[in-house]
A and B are shown apart, each in its own frame.
Chain A
């Protein structure tokens, strides 16, 4: 007889939250490489395969747009099995239209970025709801299929989501389909123990997804998954949202600034007393080295 444990699900039951980048600026720029239609067919096949391997697996898809993000698919909501794809595509189209209509108004932060912080938070909220639904829940993980460049303005929000994912032990996997590496997602997978991968050949996206990202958390303990070559730990400053190598850190609340400030804009601590007392020292003696943000 099998021993009893509080965990009633088998180890390989997973809840996969997939964040799809639907930023039109990005997809317009990489048209030649992997058109969105092809990309989505790879993703649909991947989602089908996740649902295929275990009856209890659950997939939630979130679209990350330029101005908004929304749930476009949830496999736990009852629907006919053979209309999954139609359902998803229809919702996705509605979402893109809505996103576009928002775009005509004021943009959130500059051109070309997508709202990763928003969709990450929504994914975590969903997972929290699953956690609180009772003692019976599958193992959740997040997969970001992201292509747009990092929006430095979202730095704080994204870092906060990463840390809350770390706290609730939710790994964030990242598959970067853009041309550049994403520092945010590198940090996200590094901190949460997920996998970061930037596929070389985008034509075979499904193969990458099925070999690397379809691996459930239980099997990951026995497998050698791709490890990042290096992680870009650079942070963005809180004042101008620039990515910086060196900067100033508030000794009270650890806010980051690119220039010397008189008062911390986050916690209101007043800096520079030492300099005021001793005017002979130069105003900028040694900018503090920013420490890596690993926890």
Chain B
């Protein structure tokens, strides 16, 4: 035994072109806005989530929340290097980089200024971050005030083109290369060598040490080694865990996305409901006929809920397309926001993942379901005898 065929509902949607179009557009806008805000959150999360490697351990001063708050003396570095568990590079040298992080306020191209992270690294700094690639120029020569700049930063800040100079106060850095870090944290940074930076900024020590361990057991060994040496007063955490903690920047944006999305969705639900109520009342006699023919209340209910869901599905698809276009065309460039943990700009791109698109579609289906439920119930409980006589 079959229910009322779905083509009955789909064709009815196409019969009332104007109301269907308007409702679909309403739902599409809600889905598009929701997806754009979520894509923003997703982009931010990605910066941090993709940044950390499970095998990399970041050594910071005990209880430091970020590299900026941390400090390590020069004398501590050899002790860290000597700890067991560190992987060796192909050249036999340990994969360790003592790094200095400074946040500078640089002028933006479009006026105003913003904080940018300058990171001094050692020789193995790039090898520790395999996702990093030079896209232009060459890497810096240690001790020469040369820097390489992330592409996202180069696009947004003055003097960051190849061959130009970045100025801050009395400091001058020559830009010799651009790099791409595949959407991870260094995409918001400027890099130079750490020794040179210690001199330039007259610092007595580093901010952090990044070390690659051979495997999980080695990592635990290394972390225990850092904690176990009382002279160090340091702690090691996996790079992944460190960046996960920084992902909190994305949380309020995602919350906003859900909040705005849900408020708008309730509005769109009423839109769908209105459309479906109108559909039900204009088809009262038809519904009564279906009931008279022997279709049960349940099959009428299901039929009209499905019609509403089909309507919302169209809206969801259009909304996804709209969001896709928006992200690809209008929001395609990188953009920046302040990381509330380090107060430096984080450069990121909107990320509209397949999962997000699927969420958008599901979101529209939920709207369709709730929008259709009450009108469908009205249809299902139509009194046959009275409705059969309705003209029109």
- Specify whether A and B are partners: no
Binding site for A on B (CB under 8 A): none
